[in-house]
Amino acid sequence: MTHDPQTHNGPGGPPNPEDWSAIAKNPKFVEIHRRKTYFLFGWWVFSTIYYFLLPIGAGATPGLFSVKVIGNINFGYLFALSQFFVSWGIAMYYASWANRVSDRLTGELLEELRLR
Protein backbone atom coordinates (compact mmCIF):
# COMPACT_ATOMS: atom_id res chain seq x y z
CA MET A 1 0.00 0.00 0.00
CA THR A 2 1.49 3.32 -1.05
CA HIS A 3 1.04 6.54 0.87
CA ASP A 4 -0.56 9.46 -0.97
CA PRO A 5 0.09 12.66 1.04
CA GLN A 6 -2.88 14.39 -0.63
CA THR A 7 -5.48 12.04 0.85
CA HIS A 8 -6.61 11.32 4.38
CA ASN A 9 -5.84 7.73 5.28
CA GLY A 10 -8.48 7.38 7.98
CA PRO A 11 -7.95 7.57 11.73
CA GLY A 12 -4.31 8.26 12.47
CA GLY A 13 -3.51 9.17 8.88
CA PRO A 14 -2.19 12.54 7.83
CA PRO A 15 -4.91 15.08 7.05
CA ASN A 16 -5.14 16.63 3.62
CA PRO A 17 -5.07 20.44 3.10
CA GLU A 18 -8.85 20.72 3.30
CA ASP A 19 -8.74 19.03 6.71
CA TRP A 20 -6.16 21.56 7.93
CA SER A 21 -8.43 24.40 6.88
CA ALA A 22 -11.34 22.85 8.79
CA ILE A 23 -9.12 22.29 11.84
CA ALA A 24 -7.94 25.91 11.80
CA LYS A 25 -11.57 27.10 11.84
CA ASN A 26 -12.67 24.69 14.57
CA PRO A 27 -13.67 26.59 17.76
CA LYS A 28 -11.67 24.18 19.95
CA PHE A 29 -8.53 24.77 17.90
CA VAL A 30 -9.08 28.53 18.02
CA GLU A 31 -9.45 28.26 21.83
CA ILE A 32 -6.27 26.15 22.16
CA HIS A 33 -4.33 28.61 20.01
CA ARG A 34 -5.68 31.63 21.91
CA ARG A 35 -4.89 30.18 25.33
CA LYS A 36 -1.42 29.01 24.32
CA THR A 37 -0.59 32.36 22.70
CA TYR A 38 -1.81 34.28 25.77
CA PHE A 39 0.12 31.99 28.13
CA LEU A 40 3.37 32.08 26.15
CA PHE A 41 3.26 35.82 25.41
CA GLY A 42 2.93 36.64 29.09
CA TRP A 43 5.90 34.49 30.02
CA TRP A 44 7.92 35.84 27.08
CA VAL A 45 7.34 39.40 28.36
CA PHE A 46 8.31 38.39 31.90
CA SER A 47 11.46 36.53 30.84
CA THR A 48 12.58 39.33 28.51
CA ILE A 49 12.23 41.93 31.25
CA TYR A 50 13.97 39.64 33.74
CA TYR A 51 16.82 39.01 31.28
CA PHE A 52 17.41 42.70 30.61
CA LEU A 53 17.27 43.59 34.30
CA LEU A 54 20.80 42.16 34.64
CA PRO A 55 22.65 44.49 32.24
CA ILE A 56 20.38 47.46 32.95
CA GLY A 57 20.52 46.93 36.71
CA ALA A 58 24.28 46.43 36.70
CA GLY A 59 24.74 49.62 34.69
CA ALA A 60 22.21 51.73 36.58
CA THR A 61 22.88 50.49 40.13
CA PRO A 62 26.44 49.18 40.28
CA GLY A 63 26.45 49.63 44.04
CA LEU A 64 23.60 47.14 44.46
CA PHE A 65 25.08 44.59 42.08
CA SER A 66 28.47 44.74 43.82
CA VAL A 67 27.10 44.09 47.33
CA LYS A 68 28.86 41.03 48.71
CA VAL A 69 26.39 38.41 49.88
CA ILE A 70 28.49 35.32 50.64
CA GLY A 71 32.27 35.71 50.66
CA ASN A 72 33.29 37.13 47.28
CA ILE A 73 29.93 36.27 45.73
CA ASN A 74 27.99 39.46 45.11
CA PHE A 75 24.39 40.25 44.28
CA GLY A 76 25.19 40.55 40.56
CA TYR A 77 26.51 36.97 40.39
CA LEU A 78 23.50 35.65 42.29
CA PHE A 79 21.11 37.57 40.04
CA ALA A 80 22.83 36.19 36.93
CA LEU A 81 22.69 32.66 38.36
CA SER A 82 19.01 33.13 39.22
CA GLN A 83 18.24 33.51 35.52
CA PHE A 84 19.02 29.80 35.02
CA PHE A 85 16.67 28.81 37.81
CA VAL A 86 13.95 31.15 36.59
CA SER A 87 14.27 29.67 33.09
CA TRP A 88 14.03 26.13 34.44
CA GLY A 89 11.06 27.14 36.59
CA ILE A 90 9.26 28.62 33.59
CA ALA A 91 9.98 25.48 31.54
CA MET A 92 8.62 23.23 34.30
CA TYR A 93 5.57 25.45 34.73
CA TYR A 94 4.94 25.38 30.97
CA ALA A 95 5.22 21.57 30.90
CA SER A 96 2.76 21.35 33.78
CA TRP A 97 0.37 23.80 32.10
CA ALA A 98 0.63 21.97 28.78
CA ASN A 99 -0.13 18.63 30.45
CA ARG A 100 -3.13 20.06 32.32
CA VAL A 101 -4.63 22.41 29.74
CA SER A 102 -3.18 22.29 26.25
CA ASP A 103 -2.85 18.50 25.96
CA ARG A 104 -6.35 17.96 27.33
CA LEU A 105 -7.89 20.42 24.88
CA THR A 106 -5.88 18.96 22.01
CA GLY A 107 -7.06 15.46 22.94
CA GLU A 108 -10.67 16.68 22.93
CA LEU A 109 -10.14 18.27 19.51
CA LEU A 110 -8.59 15.11 18.11
CA GLU A 111 -11.46 13.02 19.46
CA GLU A 112 -13.94 15.43 17.91
CA LEU A 113 -12.17 15.28 14.56
CA ARG A 114 -11.60 11.51 14.90
CA LEU A 115 -7.92 11.79 13.95
CA ARG A 116 -6.60 9.45 16.61
Domain map (residue ranges) of the chain: 28-113
Residue 4: the pLDDT is 45
Residue 45: the pLDDT is 96
pLDDT tens track of the chain, all 116 residues? 444 444 455 556 676 777 788 888 889 999 999 999 999 999 999 999 999 999 999 999 999 999 999 999 999 999 999 999 999 999 999 999 999 999 999 888 888 887 54
Residue 13: the pLDDT is 67
Residue 9: the pLDDT is 52
Vertex 70, ends 90 and 89: CA angle to 5°?
A: 5
Write out the DSSP string of 20-85: HHHHHH-HHHHHHHHHHHHHHHHHHHHHHHHHHHHHHHHHH-HHHHT-EEETTEEHHHHHHHHHHH
The structure's pTM equals 0.71
Residue 20: the pLDDT is 82
Residue 17: the pLDDT is 73
